[in-house]
Structure formats: C-alpha cells, structure tokens
C-alpha cells in the first residue's frame, strides 16, 4: 500500500527534516506562554502523579477536589522573547526610509492589516530564532472573460476590487521542500499549513491541512483528507502571471545548529529550575509531619484507603511520613534548611547571566554586575553585537528590495521604492559614558576640548531621552557660541 501513496504529501527537504523540530521549539520559546511550558517542562524521575498533575476530583475518598500540580503552577520568564525584542529594537531604532512606496501597501502589507514595519520586524524575529525564513509575493488570480483571456481593468477598478499585491512571511517549518536550479532560481517550493475555515455559519468550523506546490506560472493546492492525512481529498490548480516562483529566501537554509538553539536550551533549563525551586518553596511552607510507623494501619483503616493510596499521599500531598519503631515514637516536623534553598536560585542567576553574556546583552540586563574595564576592552565587547545588527539590517534591506522587484514584476502598477535601513547602532552603556564625560570634565582642558565633552554629553542625553532635532540644534548652537 505504501507504493500507492502520493509522494507530494509526504516529501520533505533534508534540511527541513533535520531542523523542523528544533525550529518549532525556538519559535515556541520566542512566543512563550503555556504552549512552550507544555513542550519543555520536564517531569522529575519518580515524581508522583499527584505532585505532577495535582489532586483530582476523587482519587482519595473523603478528600475535597482541587489542588493544581507542578505542571499547572509552572511559569515562564521569557528570556528568548526579550532577546529577539531587544535585537529588533536596535535594528529598527532608526526609521527605515521607503520613499515613493504606495501608502496603502505600506500601511497594510499582508492585506490583513499588518504594516510594513511590523511585517519586517516579524521577518527579523523569525531569522533570530531560526536562521532563515521566506517571504512570498502574491495577488489574486486575474479576472478572465468567457474565453479565458485576462480582463483589462483600470488601476482604480483593480484597487476597488481588492486585487493588489500582498506579502506573507513563512517560518522555516512551514516550507517543507524546495528546489533551486543552477542559476539560483527556485524551480518549485512546497508549503504546508493548517487553514481554519468558518465562512459558512450554518456549518461547524473545520481546520484543514493543505499543501501548496508553488511553481513558475502557477501551482497546485492539495487539501488533505481530515480522516487520513496521507490522502488528497481535493486538488486544485491556480495560475499567475509571474514567470518565477514567488518566494524569496531570507537567510540561508542550513541543517547546521543555530546559536538560538542554545538560547532555547538554556531557557528550558531555567524553566525547569524555576519550577523545581517554586515547588521547593511551596513544599517548605508546609513542614512535613513524621509519625511513628505503628500508625500506618490506623490511618488506612480510618481513611478506608489502600497502602498504595497512602504512599501516594506521602509522596505528593504533604501527608505524614511514617518511620520505623526505631524512631522511638517521636512525632515531629521535618523542615528543610533555608540555606539549602538558595542553591537553585543562585544557579538560575548564573545561567541567566551566562545567557545574556552569550548574546551580548549582559550590559542591558545586569547593571549591578558592571566592572571597571579599559576603553579598549569595552570597544571589543561591542564589536560583535554591532556587527551582527549591521548584518541583520543589510539582510532585511536586500530581501525587501528583492520582494519589491518581484512585486513589480507581478503587478506593473506596484509602486517601486528603495528601502534604506540604518546601519549604525550604539549599543554602548549610556550611564557609563556619561560618568566618563563627567570625570573628563574635571580635568584642566582647553575650551575647545570642553566643548567636545559638552557635545558628546548632548548625544548621550539624546539617546536616553530623545531630544527633538530643533531643540538639539539650539543646544549645539549655544555650545558653539559659548566661551567655555
């Protein structure tokens, strides 16, 4: 039977096979929330069901329902999301210039309300997490007459009908296969997505899995059978006036590991350490009662439960621990040492510090840990993030230019523009720079040098508060006119 399977609905690129699972985790890490917790929170060895899932409605007789388990109490401090947001803040700190771009397109690039800046920020976010993504350029199928010939329409009529170019961003795990020819152009590409259909309010909504084969001049949509994902329930073709596959790779697909894999792994470890530490605190609030072993049978008889149920109570719900008769029958409470509880939060702080050191953001996150270092070493510290940010801005600019060119080829009425991204980034510590300027101001310097210190101070203040251009010019003119 396997020989009869349609290979179009099962094939996957070797890079997709190698990276899809980890990329899925990386994107979940950036999004955060309960889906990531469900994916990455680990159950401890020999952890009881009660401790992990909580006390159910009636596993133990005469017990009130309720009591969430550790997996439900777990929370996430989303460091991965903060890292991607911080990178985007730097990349888009300077307004991107898009002269002559169509206003309607720039305001709604996806035709679903996403403006161009938010669209490209999403592209950058996926690149941070995954190394690469794809931008597709598309439009509605051309209107045709009874003879199948395209209908000529004015620009106004076309816009009134909603027929215009729109872009979409595709995460790497949504593009399952592709092929380039020797000239570097796409021959074809296959996407896979779940489409939620709820147009007809008289019928229940349904989620359908669809694979789309994008080719030069058109393509094929394969709607998979909800009952059997290895069968095609519906197949439809579509055409386009574009003589290329309307997809642009942003970044380079690769099966190699990506630096964000380590970020996700550290975040997963922090998630689990935070959860375990929270459980320790939760348990330590209620000191553990220790009872003589001779009372075990008494409890079983009184509560009408089995020995197994008693053991579950002991392991997971702060019920008493029973000790042998050698305990001399002493009833007491067992509480952990407060100093022992510090080990996990100390380890959490260490891992978090290492995480931000790796991505060059430690200065932003740990102002209390700054140390006096030479200006030369500080300059070296900033080279990596500045170079990475410049490379990211260059990649986004080139990819957007390619998308604009492809859009014009798809629709010759598309307004062509040249995006220009900022290429200089100041990731230095403004507070430390201001402190240095104040120290320099104490030196016996000539007036010209003091004016340079004042100008540098204005630049630092501008980065901290954002001085309007007109007021900044007045301040600089006042410095130039001063006799100091």
Q: 174 φ, ψ to 5°?
A: -95, -15
Q: Is the pLDDT of residue 316 over 70?
A: no
Contact (CB, 8 A) for 393 and 117: no
Q: Record the tokens describing residue 322, joined without a space.
A: 């029973």
- At which residue do the structure tokens 């840990």 appear? 369
Query: 448 in a domain, yes or no?
Result: yes
Mean pLDDT value across the chain: 80
Q: What would the pLDDT profile of 200-257 be if each residue is shown by its tens digit?
A: 899 899 888 999 999 999 999 999 888 777 888 899 999 888 889 999 999 999 999 9
Query: Which region, left, alpha or beta, applies to residue 67 given φ > 0 means left and ψ of -120 to 50 means alpha?
Result: left
**Strand order from edge to edge, sheet including 321-323:** 321-323, 288-292, 332-334
Query: 210 in a domain, yes or no?
Result: no
Strand pairing category for 288-292 and 321-323: parallel
Output the CA angle 252-254-256, nearest 5 degrees.
135
In angstroms, the CA 259 to CA 359 distance is 9
Q: What would the pLDDT profile of 60-103 be if each residue is shown by its tens digit?
A: 455 545 567 888 888 888 989 999 998 999 899 889 999 999 99
Q: Which domain holds residue 433?
A: 429-484
Q: What would the pLDDT profile of 367-416 be if each residue is shown by its tens digit?
A: 444 444 444 444 434 446 778 888 999 999 999 999 999 999 999 999 99
Q: How far is CA 250 from the centre of its chain?
A: 17
In angstroms, the CA 133 to CA 328 distance is 68
Q: What would the pLDDT profile of 167-201 be if each residue is shown by its tens digit?
A: 999 999 999 999 999 999 999 999 999 999 888 89
From residue 126, how far is each of 14, 31, 169, 329, 425 by CA, in Å? 20, 11, 9, 62, 21
Among 326, 263, 273, smallest CA distance to 86 is for 263
Query: 118 in a domain, yes or no?
Result: no
Query: 457 in a domain, yes or no?
Result: yes
Look at the alpha carbons of 21, 22, 27, 28 in this order and tell me if their dihedral is positive or negative.
positive
Among 175-189, 287-301, 314-328, name the one with the lowest average pLDDT: 314-328
In angstroms, the CA 151 to CA 142 distance is 7
Q: Is the pLDDT of residue 150 over 60?
A: no
Q: What is the mean pLDDT of residues 328-354?
A: 68
pLDDT the model gives residue 154: 47
- At which residue do the structure tokens 């803040």 appear? 89
Query: 440 in a domain, yes or no?
Result: yes
Strand pairing category for 288-292 and 166-170: unpaired
Number of domains the chain is built from: 1
Q: Record the tokens describing residue 282, joined without a space.
A: 């939760």
In angstroms, the CA 189 to CA 458 distance is 52
pLDDT the model gives residue 429: 59
Looking at the DSSP bridge assignments, the partners of residue 54 are: 68
SS3 of 294-325: HHHHHHHHHHCCCHHHHHHHHHHCCCCEEECH
Q: Which residues contact 239 (CB under 8 A, 6 or more apart)?
A: 141, 142, 217, 218
Q: Is the pLDDT of residue 294 over 70?
A: no
In angstroms, the CA 160 to CA 390 distance is 40
Contact (CB, 8 A) for 127 and 393: no
In angstroms, the CA 307 to CA 213 distance is 60
pLDDT the model gives residue 446: 85
pLDDT the model gives residue 157: 47
Query: 231 in a domain, yes or no?
Result: no
Q: How far is CA 306 from the centre of its chain?
A: 48
Query: 465 in a domain, yes or no?
Result: yes
Query: 286 in a domain, yes or no?
Result: no
Q: Who wins on pLDDT, 351 or 158?
A: 351
Q: 138 φ, ψ to 5°?
A: -150, 170
């Amino acid at each position: 039977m396997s020989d009869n399977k349609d290979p179009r609905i099962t094939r996957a690129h070797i890079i997709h096979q190698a990276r899809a699972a980890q990329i899925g985790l990386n994107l979940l890490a950036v999004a955060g929330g309960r889906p990531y917790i469900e994916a990455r929170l680990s159950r401890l060895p020999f952890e009881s069901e009660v401790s992990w899932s909580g006390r159910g409605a009636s596993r133990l007789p005469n017990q009130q329902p309720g009591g969430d388990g550790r997996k439900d109490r777990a929370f996430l401090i989303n460091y991965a999301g903060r890292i991607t947001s911080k990178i985007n803040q730097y990349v888009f700190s300077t307004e991107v210039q898009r002269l002559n771009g169509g206003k309607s397109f720039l305001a709604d690039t996806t035709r679903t309300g996403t403006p161009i800046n938010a669209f490209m920020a999403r592209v950058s976010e996926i690149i941070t997490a995954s190394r690469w993504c794809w931008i597709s350029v598309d439009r509605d199928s051309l209107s045709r007459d009874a003879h199948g010939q395209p209908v000529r329409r004015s620009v106004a009529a076309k816009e009134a009908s909603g027929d215009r170019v729109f872009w979409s961003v595709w995460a790497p795990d949504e593009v399952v296969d592709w092929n380039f020819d020797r000239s570097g152009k796409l021959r074809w590409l296959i996407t896979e997505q779940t489409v939620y259909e709820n147009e007809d309010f008289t019928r229940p909504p349904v989620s359908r899995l669809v694979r789309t084969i994008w080719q030069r001049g058109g393509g094929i949509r394969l709607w998979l059978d909800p009952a059997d994902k290895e069968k095609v329930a519906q197949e439809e073709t579509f055409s386009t006036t574009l003589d290329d596959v309307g997809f642009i790779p942003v970044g380079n697909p690769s099966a190699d590991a990506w630096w964000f894999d380590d970020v996700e792994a550290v975040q997963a470890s922090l998630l689990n350490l935070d959860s375990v530490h929270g459980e320790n605190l939760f348990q330590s609030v209620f000191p553990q009662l220790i009872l003589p072993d001779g009372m075990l049978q008494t409890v079983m008889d009184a509560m009408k439960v089995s020995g197994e149920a008693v053991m579950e109570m002991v392991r997971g719900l702060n019920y008493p621990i029973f000790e042998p008769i050698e305990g001399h029958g002493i009833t007491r409470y067992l509480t952990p040492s407060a100093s022992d509880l510090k080990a996990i939060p100390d380890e959490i702080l260490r891992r978090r510090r290492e995480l931000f050191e790796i991505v060059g953001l430690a200065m932003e996150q740990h102002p209390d840990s700054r140390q006096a270092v030479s200006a030369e070493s500080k300059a070296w510290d900033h080279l990596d993030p500045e170079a990475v940010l410049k490379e990211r801005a260059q990649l986004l600019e080139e990819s957007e230019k390619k998308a604009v060119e492809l859009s014009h080829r798809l629709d010759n009425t598309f307004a062509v523009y040249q995006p220009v991204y900022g290429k200089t980034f100041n990731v230095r510590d403004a507070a430390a720079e201001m402190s240095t300027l104040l120290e320099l101001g104490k030196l016996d310097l000539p007036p010209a040098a003091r004016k340079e210190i004042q100008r540098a101070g204005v630049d630092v203040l501008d980065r901290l508060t954002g001085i309007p251009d007109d007021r900044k010019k007045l301040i600089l003119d006042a410095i130039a006119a001063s006799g100091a």
